[in-house]
Homo-oligomer: A and B are copies of this chain.
């Protein structure tokens, strides 16, 4: 624990000088306002320890990291039938590409590109009103993090709604193939709210801990998913969690992870820990530049790579 703390602090210190190298997401106006110099790291271990450094207690927009949690919810509800709606192969395309959808009859390649995440949200929405679905997702996040202070930032949700034409295009396209069931405006209403959930690194690390611990949250003792499903969720994060930079993340970091354009990344060290980093500057693939570097350094020094 003391060693881990020193390790995390060293990584935070060494990478602090690189915070200006990335570029804040500018296509969502609310996100463009976040200062480049924010940088936090939190590590939650399966033994119940939590190490935080820098801005690890400050909430930021989790954006696409939410896709991991709605996928968990949708699998809980639909089980393996969910895979009839969305495939689970890496896409080889940008996060918002529509080309693949046309070539494959509207079925998204995986649940972590935008199209696939929208299809998953459609599955979560099934049978309820948008407001209820948003409530369920928020409650699930509070349950996972064991923290009732988690909220949704309504300005971010509105900002995405106003500028989300590409996502509307994806949703209408899938609707035309009956891949999603609900009106695009309803599905996206939920989707934009899930992306606007604000959480800190500490909250995120705790929320992801069940994936490092065979499906059970060691902090609360609650079983979230079966051990087999936890493994599979980890495999999905490894293969598809970083859009068209998934190969690079696996090569450099060697851990399952899911990134968001808010600059957050949640990575899982199976059997050991969940790690959340936040640094808003992004690389060309839309993943946190310093966040990735921090995970790379941390994984190397701690010997965490799943690849040996």
Contact = CB atoms under 8 A, between A and B. Distances in A.
Given A97-B102, A308-B214, A90 B247 contact: yes
B245 A89 contact: yes
Given A110-B247, A239-B247, A308-B270, A92 B100 contact: yes
A1 interface: no
Contacts of A173: 98, 165-166, 169
Nearest to A101: B98
A21 interface: no
B169 A308 contact: no
Interface string A250-289: 1100101000000000001011000000000000000000
Nearest to A91: B92
Interface residues of A, number: 58
A88 to B, nearest CB: 5
Contact of A99 (B102, B175, B248): B102
A251 B236 contact: yes
Contacts of A102: 97-99
Contacts of A240: 247
A291 interface: no
A176 B172 contact: no
Contact of A172 (B169, B234, B247, B300): B169
Which 7 residue pairs of A and B lie closest in terms of their CB atoms, listed nearest first?
A92-B92, A270-B308, A90-B90, A165-B176, A234-B307, A89-B247, A169-B173
Interface of A: 87-93, 97-100, 102-103, 109-110, 165-166, 168-173, 175-176, 184, 211-214, 227-228, 230-232, 234-236, 238-240, 244-248, 250-251, 254, 256, 268, 270-271, 300, 305-308
Given A92-B92, A92-B93, A165-B172, 9 more contacts: A89-B247, A97-B102, A168-B169, A172-B172, A214-B308, A235-B247, A235-B251, A239-B247, A239-B251
